[in-house]
Structure 1
């Protein structure tokens, strides 16, 4: 075989030299023997000649058999070659495309992007990589089943494909994530924006799948190689474009979904910080770097300390003290919020066990934990293990979580209240709760959101909202707690509205467990076995001094 000949075994089989040689030799022999045998056989049949030589007749019949064998062998060989070629084409198709939507898959999309970029560079064009994610697709699968979900994905791919130009390449990267890449004239971002707007409009139209109507929204991340000089430039690399579009998509989903964002260098720094957070959170859980801080809760009328709310803090070796507003959302998305919260609870129960029995402990519950049907049982087991009285524990449920699974929330509240745990509705006025929910869910307390409390400095509409919430609490016989009490002006306004419990910087910032012990020792509010270790300091302030002492 020469260097120009194909290495494909199918092509070699088509040029099978042995089969061709046998067929050619059989035909030559057939002509030779037939020329001698056939005339003699014809004359013999006419009675004017002798019978042909038997040996030649046998040779003729053998040649005919060889020709038939060769023909059958040729037919079988060509059929097998056709089948194997079809199988190879199917294998290549399956390896390069998504079997459900018939789009390219993730692996072949990289090759398609590089190929399209090479052609675009020859014409002086750039390419754009757009990543598309179907919002809340899991809900469709959960509500209607995966058969409906698959049909939605097929319909979505058709909607996208119809709007793309001929040179574009569309891929399904996995799950509900699609991407397309296409060339465009440098500087003409308006054409891409126009395409994206039409995509949102098309996908936003109600979609009929079998017997249901589905309303879809998408999020889009966009990246281009417009700044690339040649194929060796990092910005021209297909994997880099995909990564950057993915970062822009993440930013779009973080901003509330149903929108699109172009990649910006600042996003890369944000993602890098996000990865650093994720790594740090996992390490922090192993090393127990997450610690409880405690914010005082005070009776407004008497000034008496009545309890603490536990707040999460992260004492990171690399990042220092990290606020929960930063790490809690990341921990929820990572799926480790339950582990983190339970670590904090265990420590908080151990800390609060040393406090006077009159002091309560309030703990916030993540929306992720509210979806766990076994949360109440695990919490009660931890209370028993810590020997902490359930009556001193108050669980705070954020108002915006009530609409997610009202049946499960009701069951959890009932289970905890039956064991003596108090249930508080947190951030009241910012979510979706109704009077009907307040009546049926049997909360023990309402917490007024700090955004309303801060408006009490001026007689605005929000101040009147606070008055209405307090009046409603009295009507439902529900005690109230005001969050965000930061100065004497707010405190005076609240005192005029009735008896409340309050917390905020006026009474002091959240403190670690050791500082709380010292504070309680000074007030004589440690349990009997701990009081000896913390004798009261001379000149300790009275209960009435709390707001002024903390504000000084």
Structure 2
């Protein structure tokens, strides 16, 4: 492939200057040898005949100085010639070494493909050669899905083998004139020429790549499944194509944007670049920057949703919900910023700040009111999470028995051993632990029996069906019956109207929460509500509340356990 080799001839740089200096030394040495030869010819024309005549006794001995000059001249010729050959051999070896170094600098050592630098140069050259016409270039960005798990579960050697196998499979599929490069990690980029009238050829190639790469890679008897997300951009989507490296970088960036869109849409698929994707990515980047800035500036605030005993209609506590009060975007809901915070790795810091503020807020409530806090599955992967939470309890002097931690069913499938250890550690210190969104994560009955949960929370999607028809309550009734059998109290989320409330009351003794009782409120509105109901904390001597970290069995009789 001519296009694939063009860039290997460029980029001499300082190596060319070294060759020039070596060539100058080479010419000087050769000039000295030639001068010695000329001098030898002149000297030998006088000295050799005299030496021959003296050898046969026909003449007296030749002039000693002239003879020595001849011998020295011969030695100089031999020395100069040997030096010339040595320098020439050194120069050849140096050229070969530097050519090999340049070649290695242009390829990825693991897969043998081009690297980012060499592909960018080659793509820039190709874009300069492709005028606006029937022919175009497609940049195909490829990223393996969940590749980190391959390394984590099977080791980095297995990951390297997967990358080599993927590169080999892609190379076999590329048409003539195509290029492939590994940019780093599990990212690849292909460059393929195509006719603008038949872009379906690129669609077919992308489908073939997805189907071929999806075949398992065998490594030491283990079958490793691999999928990929693909983004495609065409040179026809560039405003200008004659800008060399600048055009190449713009085209690769557009392909990257399309690839990230493919990942967002479910992975293992491909998308062509479209301008709205760029706006979406720009907004996503603004959100990421805003979230990081908002955490530092305290823009994330705890809001509180009431939890009610359905039998007595008494307030029993609040669930803390996060809200982002952004100066630029206004009030932002957790469905927008929580997934992004999890992806960019700041959910732990955000959650700890919110929990700390919630502890300070809840200390002003009646001591019998509980505080429920949702915990992200990402936080549950942190083996030190339980210790961090207990440290916050001590720092803010908040009674452990008033705290209810809510974790989702999805956490149980990631590392049930770690989850069990965390739950046990927290419950041993008096913290209550609830299983949130029950019914959506396919947890088994054996898991519920083996894990020491204090409460089940039925997901709002099941509760909302109660307002449609009575028969939709059969599943909810079954969950409540199962909770009774496991001796686990139940909280129903999503109580939105009187009809749902009446249906739940007929099913048993439950706690409930939802918009029927009011929207989540900031701390100042909660305090006003509690003041009207005479449910604020009463001043105590010294205004100090002891944090209760006694044994769990001792606390069960004191009436403070979350119902």
Task: Tell me whether 1:524 sits opposite 2:534 in the alignment.
Answer: yes
Consecutive unaligned residues of structure 2, counting only runs of 5 or more, are 1-14, 541-563
Q: Within 5 Å, give how 1:109-148 maps onto structure 2.
A: 109-121=119-131, 124-148=134-158
Deviations 1:22-77 (A, max 9, x none): 22222233344445555655565566666555444333322321222122211221
What SS is found at the alignment partner of 1:425? strand
Deviations 1:315-351 (A, max 9, x none): 1111111101111111112211111111111111111
Task: Tell me whether 1:27 sits opposite 2:37 in the alignment.
Answer: yes
Task: Tell me whether 1:261 sits opposite 2:271 in the alignment.
Answer: yes
Distance 2:221 2:429 in 1: 46
The equivalent of 1:306 in structure 2 is: 316
Consecutive unaligned residues of structure 1, counting only runs of 5 or more, are 1-5, 531-552
Residue 216 of structure 1 and its aligned partner are, at CA, apart by: 1.0
The equivalent of 2:299 in structure 1 is: 289
Distance 1:235 1:86 in 2: 28
Distance 1:142 1:296 in 2: 42
Distance 1:94 1:78 in 2: 24
The equivalent of 1:416 in structure 2 is: 426
Residue 20 of structure 1 and its aligned partner are, at CA, apart by: 2.2
Task: Tell me whether 1:149 sits opposite 2:163 in the alignment.
Answer: no
Q: Could you tell me whether the CA contact under 8 Å between 2:238 and 2:247 is conserved in 1?
A: no
Q: Could you tell me whether the CA contact under 8 Å between 1:292 and 1:313 is conserved in 2?
A: yes
1:370 aligned to 348, 369, 380, which one?
380
Task: Tell me whether 1:192 sits opposite 2:192 in the alignment.
Answer: no
Residue 463 of structure 1 and its aligned partner are, at CA, apart by: 3.3
Q: Could you tell me whether the CA contact under 8 Å between 2:144 and 2:228 is conserved in 1?
A: yes
Residue 131 of structure 1 and its aligned partner are, at CA, apart by: 1.2
Relative to structure 2, which stretch is displaced further, 511-520 or 87-96? 87-96
Q: Could you tell me whether the CA contact under 8 Å between 1:227 and 1:235 is conserved in 2?
A: no
The equivalent of 2:415 in structure 1 is: 405
Equivalent residues, number: 525
Q: 1:122 to 1:53 in 2, by over 3 A?
A: farther
Distance 1:73 1:124 in 2: 59
Deviations 1:295-324 (A, max 9, x none): 111112222211111100011111111101
Q: Could you tell me whether the CA contact under 8 Å between 2:303 and 2:520 is conserved in 1?
A: yes
The equivalent of 1:328 in structure 2 is: 338
Q: Could you tell me whether the CA contact under 8 Å between 2:163 and 2:186 is conserved in 1?
A: yes
Task: Tell me whether 1:177 sits opposite 2:187 in the alignment.
Answer: yes
Q: Could you tell me whether the CA contact under 8 Å between 1:225 and 1:236 is conserved in 2?
A: no
Q: 1:461 to 1:38 in 2, by over 3 A?
A: farther
Q: Could you tell me whether the CA contact under 8 Å between 1:369 and 1:375 is conserved in 2?
A: yes
Q: 1:80 to 1:432 in 2, by over 3 A?
A: farther
Name the TM-score, length of structure 1 as normaliser: 0.89
The equivalent of 2:28 in structure 1 is: 18
Residue 428 of structure 1 and its aligned partner are, at CA, apart by: 0.9
Residue 200 of structure 1 and its aligned partner are, at CA, apart by: 1.0
Distance 1:17 1:387 in 2: 86
Residue 497 of structure 1 and its aligned partner are, at CA, apart by: 1.6
What SS is found at the alignment partner of 2:176? coil
Distance 2:141 2:472 in 1: 42
Distance 1:14 1:522 in 2: 95
Deviations 1:463-505 (A, max 9, x none): 3322221121111111111111112222222222211111111
Residue 443 of structure 1 and its aligned partner are, at CA, apart by: 0.7
Q: Within 5 Å, give how 1:205-284 maps onto structure 2.
A: 205-228=215-238, 230-231=240-241, 237-284=247-294
Q: Could you tell me whether the CA contact under 8 Å between 1:130 and 1:220 is conserved in 2?
A: yes
Residue 104 of structure 1 and its aligned partner are, at CA, apart by: 2.4
Instruction: Name the structure, 1 or 2, with higher relative contact order (CA <8 Å, separation 6+).
Output: 2
The equivalent of 1:86 in structure 2 is: 96
What SS is found at the alignment partner of 1:296? strand
Q: Could you tell me whether the CA contact under 8 Å between 2:257 and 2:277 is conserved in 1?
A: yes
- Point out 4+ residue stretches in structure 1 off by more than 3 angstroms: 6-9, 11-17, 29-57, 227-230, 232-236, 458-463
What SS is found at the alignment partner of 1:373? coil
The equivalent of 2:456 in structure 1 is: 446
